[in-house]
Amino acid sequence: MAEKIKIVVVLGPTAVGKTALGIVLAQAFGGEIISGDSQQVYRGLDIGTAKASKEEQALAPHHLIDVRDVDETYSAFDFVREASQAIERIADRGKIPIIVGGTGLYLQSLLEGYHLGGEVDQEEVLAYRQELEQLSDQTLVDLVKRERLEIPEINRRRAIRALELKRFSSDAQNQEPPYDFLLIGLNDDRDSLYHRINHRVDVMMEEGLLDEAKNLFDHHFESQASRGIGYKEFFPYFAGQEDLDTAIAKVKQNSRRFAKRQLTWFKNRMQVDFYMVGEAGCEDSIKEAVRDFIR
């Protein structure tokens, strides 16, 4: 069996500092960064998606940024396919793939592998996974029992994976994750994180977020990209239904709520070691963990 590719994954809520840490790790360990964000794939949406700046991208190679026009769609299936290709290329160059992002479904789908191989319809697998993700923990357990599946130490993640395999594959090898990965979760105390989020929105407004949102409103109103947080909240303002202060407040509120949902996803559905960015020695501890993992 071929040796699995080692990858480092930096994840966490919006505005916690994932981009900066990814660059630090890439420089320290000879890595290349793959964006794990569902909105940063769009060209022209730089401010509202908190995309790494041109200066930041010059500090380390970045992948899966600016790979779609704003009127195109992008799915978890697209991400898994394109991220897998990037991982292979990076590893072939002798570099460490470092995935940086906060889109939970994308990261989980890549790391746990819904692409089961063979003649399986990958879109069908993803649709089934998204259906299972909507179920409660108890409903998933009941389904596992109904299917008479044997799962040691059952949890939500294992239940979903077993049900996928039951429906789409009998190949036991497919139960193995496709990569050897280290999950690094970033977090901060709630007040500090919410302050980070509010401040970032203020900075985005100064940098021209309103112009990006207006372009979507005028030319790509029905696009998938226009539904992203940081853009859709301005549409009532452009339509003359709300004032600008109300729109900005909604961006901040929705961003804070999104951060909470992200943390819930990572804590409940992925086995993550979290580091508190406000604590002394946080970065050094993370570097030590990455160093041990690579060795």
* 181-225 per-position pLDDT tens digit: 999 999 999 999 999 999 999 999 999 999 999 999 999 999 999
Q: What angle do CA 92, 96, 97 make, to 5 degrees?
A: 90
Has 73 been labeled as part of a binding site?
Answer: no
Where in the chain does DSSP place strands (E)?
A: 6-11, 31-35, 62-63, 96-100, 180-187, 273-276
Tens of pLDDT, residues 25-79? 999 999 999 999 999 999 999 999 999 999 999 999 999 999 999 999 998 888 9
13 is in an annotated binding site: yes
Assess whether pLDDT exceeds 80 at residue 144: yes
Please check if 19 is assigned to a binding site: yes
Residue 228 annotated in ligand binding: no
pLDDT band per the 50, 70, 90 thresholds, residue 123: low
16 has binding-site annotation = yes
Q: State the DSSP code for 118.
A: T
Residue located via tokens 């570099």: 95
Pairing of strands 62-63, 96-100: unpaired
pTM for this prediction: 0.84
114, pLDDT greater than 90: no
CA distance 16 to 37: 14
- Give the per-residue pLDDT at 60: 98
* DSSP category for residue 61: -
103 appears as a binding residue in the annotation: no
Q: What is the pLDDT of residue 160?
A: 83
Note the pLDDT tens digit of each residue in 218-241. 999 999 999 999 999 999 999 999
What are the φ/ψ torsions at residue 60 (nearest 5 degrees)?
A: -160, 145
Instruction: State the Cα–Cα distance between residues 25 and 9, nearest whole angstrom.
Output: 11
Q: Point out which residues pair with 50 in neighbouring strands.
A: none
Q: Do residues 104 and 268 make contact, with C-beta atoms less than 8 angstroms apart?
A: no
Residue 227's contacts (CB-CB under 8 Å, 6 or more residues apart) are none
* Residue 130 burial (C-beta neighbours within 10 Å; 0-12, 13-18, 19+): middle
The more confidently predicted of residues 110 and 25 is: 25
What does the alpha-carbon distance between residue 90 and residue 31 come to, in Å, rounded to a whole number? 8
Report the pLDDT value the prediction gives residue 42, as an integer from 0 to 100: 98
- Half-sphere CA count of 288, side-chain side, radius 13 A: 6
Given a cut of 70, whether residue 273 has pLDDT beyond it is yes
- Tokens at residue 133, please? 């993700």
Please say whether the beta carbons of 40 and 103 come within 8 A: no
Cα dihedral value 222, 227, 231, 234, nearest 10: 70
